[in-house]
Amino acid sequence: MYSMLDLHQRTSPLQWLLIAVAQKWVATLVCDMKLDLKAKRITQDPLADISPWDTLNWHSRQILNDMSKVITFRKETVSEHRLFIVLSGVMAVRRELSDGRWTFSTLFKAGDIIDTERHERIHQGKLMALNSVDVMLVTSETFRQCLTTTPDINRVYSQVMRILAERARDHITDLACKTPTELVASVLFEFKRWPQSIQINKSDTVVLPISRRNIAHYLGIKPETISRVFNKLETQQLLQVPLADHVIMLDAPKIRQIANGGHPRGQG
């Protein structure tokens, strides 16, 4: 940049050309630097793009970033940490019965905060990464203190916790009354709302973020049943399954209707 200013002092036609070329080159260089800076800023402030943490003011995010570090769980990893924010991927609480049956009681996606520190009771289940998962690790004491000192963070924290409680109640409702067909229809819409890792322009395409086997464990049914449900819905022209993890909703309203209880027992 300084050399460019120097060039300006003594101008000749050739030099003008050189200057023009140099300017262009420098411009692209600066542009690249800006992009690089932006990329760097994003990696340093990963919450900026994740709802609802993007509603934090810059200062609050700065506090959070300063007290935390970003780490990655590889697929199938069990986390010993019990307090962090999910940045990408899917984590789950795996809970087991004594004879080996188990379920994913909760799924956590980007933006969710996982706060399952032990209180009096011991067994809470394992925290597992179903994908490669980026998380933002915070230390318990600092974070708890920060919740009392920074109302902005407390606001978002309690908002997320209430959304999670609401999702849990949704899930309970599903498990308690829905038939497998309705369960699958519901979970399609649940995944549809999630931030898709692969951006699909077709808005009616849902990318299943986890394997069907894991979906089955989340819904409390068997993988075979999920397969049969997809078959049935496909023959009814309600959806298409071009790939194992891609579902195209052909008749979203009808699927929505099924998800809300439109397929009780005794309707084939």
- Report which DSSP code applies to 203: T
Stretch that binds its own copies, among 26-34, 38-46, 132-140, 170-178 (CB under 8 A): 170-178
Binding partner selected for residue 21 from its own copies, DNA, none, CB under the kind-specific 5 to 8 Å limit: none
Tally the C-alpha atoms within 13 A of residue 258's C-alpha that lie toward its C-beta.
Answer: 26
Parallel/antiparallel/unpaired status of strands 68-73 and 205-207 = unpaired
Binding partner selected for residue 116 from DNA, its own copies, none, CB under the kind-specific 5 to 8 Å limit: its own copies
Residues 116 and 168: beta-carbon distance below 8 Å: no
CB of 179 to its own copies, least distance (A): 10
How deeply is 249 buried, as exposed, middle or buried, from its count of CB atoms within 10 A (0-12, 13-18, 19+)?
Answer: buried
Q: List, in sequence order, the alpha helices (H) in the chain.
A: 2-9, 13-44, 58-67, 140-149, 151-177, 180-193, 212-219, 223-235, 252-259
Q: Applying CB under 8 A, does 202 fall inside the site for its own copies?
A: no
Stretch that binds DNA, among 55-63, 66-74, 249-257, 259-267 (CB under 7 A): 259-267
Q: Applying CB under 7 A, does 205 fall inside the site for DNA?
A: no
Residues 174 and 258: beta-carbon distance below 8 Å: no
Site residues (CB under 8 A) for its own copies, limited to 122-141: 124-125
Q: Applying CB under 8 A, does 14 fall inside the site for its own copies?
A: no
Q: Which residues bind its own copies (CB under 8 A)?
A: 93, 95, 97-99, 101-103, 105-106, 115-117, 119, 121, 124-125, 147-148, 151, 154, 158-159, 161-166, 168-169, 171-173, 175-178, 182, 217-220, 257, 260-262, 264
